Copies of this chain bind each other. A is one copy, B any other.
Amino acid sequence: MPASIEDVAQRANVSISTVSRVLNRRNIVNDKTRKRVELAIQELNYRPNVFARGLMLQQSNILGLVLPDLHGEFYSEIIRGANLKAHELGYQLMVSSAGGNNDGNSVLSAVSNHGLVDGIVVMVSDIDSKTKKTLDKVMIPFVVLDGQVEGMKHDSVVIDQRHGTEAMVRHLIQDCGAKRIVFVGGLKTNIDTIDRLEAYKDVMQRASLPVSHDDVYHLDFSYEKAFLLATNLVEDWAATEAFVFAANDEMAAGIIDAAIEKGIAVPDQLRVVGFDDTRIAQMTRPRLTTVHVPMSSMGALAVEVLCQRLKDPQRPPTKLTLQSDLVVRESCGTTHAESV
């Protein structure tokens, strides 16, 4: 049984009020008394009980982070960034996946743990996800990652997909001389895919390049699916000097490997670019030209915004936009970097 504040008080021969005071550096405590108390705390290896504290203070210093999935480099980075920042600000992070069999229930469960977490960071990548509805019931502050919930006031941290996507497509057209660009996206309902696809179409049209319906594919962001798809098409793509714009690095890697397997050299015979700038982009030869999405910053920033809201519940909702930037590497054939 761990020591309580009472034990410390007894040992230091003071009242628990005094102990509490030195603990919270509040009011004035006589220097000698303080030393005595501090000694007692050390000797007993005393730590305030979180529950008692939480009960009084109505806060836990725990933040929730709910992601669609915990799999893969992308989420890994967000967690990392969020975790670091949370610790920096004196919070603990509780990570959950909304996906899997729980389907948004864990949001609810994390939240309905009623006061366990002081606030949450949620990522809702699927547009018709139940999570959004669940969010309605959330009574504590939350910030939405990479999305916006209609008709609700809340903070959010989003990625400007547009900027990076446009820079990429422009680069492909202007610097690399692309005439045809195949777009390999994620699921049709995926919010990122939608944004990126739109930006891609815009730039294509502005450049008076045709956007063929047949040149837009919807996969599931996986290497495997992309590899399979590319296996069939890569020769045609190479023959027509098409460029391939994959909506994440993993798929780009799959496409490149499919090309190599078919004896098609990247970037000499086929140019492939990715999105996200995960570690995979550098774990591929040629290294991927891709769009850098500051994932760990996004996680960190979300935590920061959340903490600010916690401090000042009245402040107007913020929407922070992070820039996505073109990163030119080798897989597109030019190393001639565009300044972004």
Which residues does A use to contact B, with CB under 8 Å?
A: 2, 45, 47-55, 60, 62, 70-73, 75-76, 79-80, 83-84, 87, 92-97, 100, 102, 106, 109-110, 112-116, 137, 139, 223-224, 227, 250, 253-254, 257-258, 260-261, 279-280, 282-285
A53 surroundings in chain B (CB, below 8 A): 51
Tell me the bound Cα distance from A326 to B136 in angstroms. Answer: 48
Are the C-beta atoms of B96 and A83 separated by less than 8 Å?
A: yes
Most B CB within 10 A of own CB, among A62, A137, A283: A283
Contact of A76 among B72, B114, B282 (CB under 8 A): B72
Are the C-beta atoms of A283 and B250 separated by less than 8 Å?
A: yes
Are the C-beta atoms of A52 and B50 separated by less than 8 Å?
A: no
Look across to chain B and name the residue whose beta carbon is closest to the beta carbon of A94. B94
Are the C-beta atoms of B94 and A93 separated by less than 8 Å?
A: yes
A280 surroundings in chain B (CB, below 8 A): 283
Are the C-beta atoms of A106 and B80 separated by less than 8 Å?
A: no
Given A227-B285, A254-B283, A260-B285, 7 other A-B residues pairs in contact with their CB atoms under 8 A: A2-B139, A49-B115, A70-B80, A72-B76, A75-B76, A95-B95, A257-B284
Are the C-beta atoms of B257 and A260 separated by less than 8 Å?
A: no
Are the C-beta atoms of B47 and A51 separated by less than 8 Å?
A: no
Contacts A70-B80, A106-B87, A139-B2 given; does A49 touch B114 at CB 8 Å? yes
A79 surroundings in chain B (CB, below 8 A): 70, 95
Contacts A51-B60, A76-B71, A260-B260 given; does A84 touch B113 at CB 8 Å? no
A227 surroundings in chain B (CB, below 8 A): 285
A60 surroundings in chain B (CB, below 8 A): 50-51
Tell me the bound Cα distance from A284 to B60 in angstroms. Answer: 44
Most B CB within 10 A of own CB, among A49, A55, A92, A94: A92
Look across to chain B and name the residue whose beta carbon is closest to the beta carbon of A61. B113
Are the C-beta atoms of A49 and B45 separated by less than 8 Å?
A: no
Contact of A92 among B52, B113, B257, B258 (CB under 8 A): B113
Contacts A2-B114, A70-B83 given; does A261 touch B285 at CB 8 Å? yes
Tell me the bound Cα distance from A100 to B100 in angstroms. Answer: 29
A70 surroundings in chain B (CB, below 8 A): 76, 79-80, 83
Contact of A80 among B49, B97, B139 (CB under 8 A): B97
Contact of A115 among B50, B75, B92, B96 (CB under 8 A): B50
Distance in angstroms from A120 CB to nearest chain B CB is: 12
Are the C-beta atoms of B83 and A116 separated by less than 8 Å?
A: no
Are the C-beta atoms of A83 and B54 separated by less than 8 Å?
A: no
A62 surroundings in chain B (CB, below 8 A): 94, 116
Look across to chain B and name the residue whose beta carbon is closest to the beta carbon of A102. B87
Distance in angstroms from A281 CB to nearest chain B CB is: 11
Tell me the bound Cα distance from A100 to B75 in angstroms. Answer: 18
